[in-house]
Chains A and B, each alone.
Chain A
């Protein structure tokens, strides 16, 4: 049984999947405390691909983790699909991550004891919207879409770096989130694989009307995005 990519889509609320304003974030303690984000504001529309670029330490990744609700801001607001999340508790943020956000990290972050298929099914199992056969069918379809249809039963350790990142892309899309956040998704890949993963990410996201926000150092990748937002010293420039 094949499940369409949009089968578990969350209900869209307005044009913007994500909004933030005046985000403040300090890291470290005492003398080492650094003001990393100094009042950042940002919006992401559905179906658009955004690149956040800038030198190391300018606050790109910190911003991404705040937008992904993996971290809490010291000031400012974050809205996910019109819902204000900046002051919400851990339970609400976790639920929002599961339903609305997909992550792709630089170092793949696959769970290596599990097969590619199981890795992709993992977020669906937690969300519990689909039956077990539906989850498996969707996971197979996503792996097919990223070109790994023949390697569904391989463990993470039995896949190359590029293949692992493609599984990570499929996993990020598993619950049909409205926002895909990618932290240097091609940073650890060769040129060929970088292009492949970027094309996949943008094509699948655009097909499904998802907002893609990626942090990258790669100028070629940044140029191919719909919007590029350069950052410096904790602010967009």
Chain B
């Protein structure tokens, strides 16, 4: 144990009350920072997971048609360059099978599924609602969504797989139309009405999806929507969804189609979560600020009370930097204990919060608070506390180091 640390520890334990005040604020600051970050990222991760499980990691949507500009180079008029600002998009994917075969050759791709979408009206014996038909090939779509796991009715996907005249209806839409499995619905598109049997009801937890989407077989959708070829988009799932941006950029270059990663698709919601995370972090940083002020106060008091001791230490050969270190060690001791206890406190409260009932059924569906603890939250909380408390401690520490031993001794002696 270094002499400076030993002295710092004794100084600190001699001011138990003031030290406990600083310590408790540090514990609260670190702990609550962890709790708020764990809850906001819990909801964010859950939201992202739900959307990835429903809409996949990427979508290939429209074909890019470059506008080319001819330039005369070295006397030849044949040189052409792509004019980025002049890019045109042609809606939909005209040759889905060719694109899907190419997409499957990307190492990170787990699955790809062609989807044909169209606006329809759906009627039950009870009422009529606006909806969207999603034509899918179930064997492909299984690899790009968690639709199978979202089925809430015991029949599962068996009937949907067997019968082209069946449909999967979202929970909210089914409730609005008062539908149950095996009941009939009539879908009206482009002036034509067709009858389908409800094969199963799904619930993604995302209200906008559960309220509007009806999944039917892709071939049946082509016939219903009178689009014999092409697809509205290709839905892609990845082994590593975090690399969606890079993969999208690469695919866009290769396929000459617009490719939207989930980060771009959901950027509005993601920015809301980010704003929530930052605002809650700022709010709880008030505790860390109080901790740093308490530490400043404690150390300033110790400097005032220990001027004689500082003079003794200086007379014994302790340098100015030793005095600074003695006071910074005191802050470091409080920070170390505060970080450990605050970390445990934060983890315990986060666990407790995850048990709190909180029925949400709007943006996504959950019955409890969702918590996602990450080591990064602990690092952020502790770094914030370290920076603020150490800056606050530096002022009294430097003041103590600047004291002239001669002045102190003379003052006392007189």
Q: Which residues of A contact B (CB under 8 A)?
A: 61-62, 65, 68, 70-72, 90-91, 94-95, 97-99, 101, 103, 105-107, 109-111, 113-114, 122-123, 125-127, 171, 175, 183-184
Also in contact, A109 and B404, with CB within 8 A (given A70-B409, A126-B318):
no
Give B404's nearest chain A residue, CB to CB.
Answer: A71
Query: What are 21 A-B residue pairs whose CB atoms fall within 8 Å in the complex?
Result: A65-B409, A70-B406, A71-B406, A90-B320, A91-B319, A94-B314, A94-B320, A97-B314, A97-B317, A101-B315, A105-B413, A107-B308, A107-B413, A109-B312, A110-B312, A111-B309, A113-B14, A122-B313, A125-B3, A127-B317, A183-B413
Also in contact, A61 and B319, with CB within 8 A (given A109-B308, A109-B312, A113-B11):
no
Tell me, rounded to whole Å, the shortest Cβ–Cβ distance linking A99 to chain B.
Answer: 7
Contacts between the two chains (Cβ within 8 Å), count = 78
A99 and B405 CA atoms in complex are apart in Å by 17
Also in contact, A122 and B316, with CB within 8 A (given A65-B409, A70-B409, A107-B412):
yes
A33 and B295 CA atoms in complex are apart in Å by 38
Asked whether, in the complex, the Cβ of A70 is within 8 Å of the Cβ of B317, the reply is: no
Asked whether, in the complex, the Cβ of A94 is within 8 Å of the Cβ of B318, the reply is: yes
Contact partners of A105 in chain B: CB under 8 A: 409, 412-413
Contact partners of B410 in chain A: CB under 8 A: 61-62, 65, 71
Give B309's nearest chain A residue, CB to CB.
Answer: A111
A91 and B320 CA atoms in complex are apart in Å by 8
Contact partners of B14 in chain A: CB under 8 A: 113
A126 and B406 CA atoms in complex are apart in Å by 20
The verdict on B311 contacting chain A, using a C-beta distance below 8 Å, is yes
Asked whether, in the complex, the Cβ of A70 is within 8 Å of the Cβ of B412, the reply is: no
Asked whether, in the complex, the Cβ of A99 is within 8 Å of the Cβ of B317, the reply is: yes
1/0 per residue B1-39: CB within 8 Å of A? 001001100110110000000000000000000000000
Also in contact, A123 and B317, with CB within 8 A (given A61-B410, A65-B406, A183-B413):
yes
Contact partners of A72 in chain B: CB under 8 A: 406
A72 and B319 CA atoms in complex are apart in Å by 16
B interface secondary structure, majority: helix
Asked whether, in the complex, the Cβ of B315 is within 8 Å of the Cβ of A126, the reply is: no
The verdict on B55 contacting chain A, using a C-beta distance below 8 Å, is no
The verdict on B322 contacting chain A, using a C-beta distance below 8 Å, is yes
A101 and B316 CA atoms in complex are apart in Å by 8
Contact partners of B318 in chain A: CB under 8 A: 94, 98, 126
Tell me, rounded to whole Å, the shortest Cβ–Cβ distance linking A126 to chain B.
Answer: 5
A99 and B274 CA atoms in complex are apart in Å by 59
Tell me, rounded to whole Å, the shortest Cβ–Cβ distance linking A182 to chain B.
Answer: 12
Contact partners of A65 in chain B: CB under 8 A: 406, 409-410
- Nearest 9 A/B pairs, CB to CB: A98-B317, A71-B406, A125-B3, A70-B406, A123-B316, A113-B10, A70-B405, A65-B406, A103-B315
A87 and B37 CA atoms in complex are apart in Å by 57
Give A111's nearest chain B residue, CB to CB.
Answer: B309
A97 and B13 CA atoms in complex are apart in Å by 29
Contact partners of B308 in chain A: CB under 8 A: 107, 109
Tell me, rounded to whole Å, the shortest Cβ–Cβ distance linking B215 to chain A.
Answer: 75
Give B322's nearest chain A residue, CB to CB.
Answer: A126
1/0 per residue B370-407: CB within 8 Å of A? 00000000000000000000000000000000001111
Tell me, rounded to whole Å, the shortest Cβ–Cβ distance linking B214 to chain A.
Answer: 77
Tell me, rounded to whole Å, the shortest Cβ–Cβ distance linking B113 to chain A.
Answer: 72
Asked whether, in the complex, the Cβ of A114 is within 8 Å of the Cβ of B10, the reply is: yes
Contact partners of B404 in chain A: CB under 8 A: 70-71
Asked whether, in the complex, the Cβ of A126 is within 8 Å of the Cβ of B316, the reply is: yes
A183 and B308 CA atoms in complex are apart in Å by 15
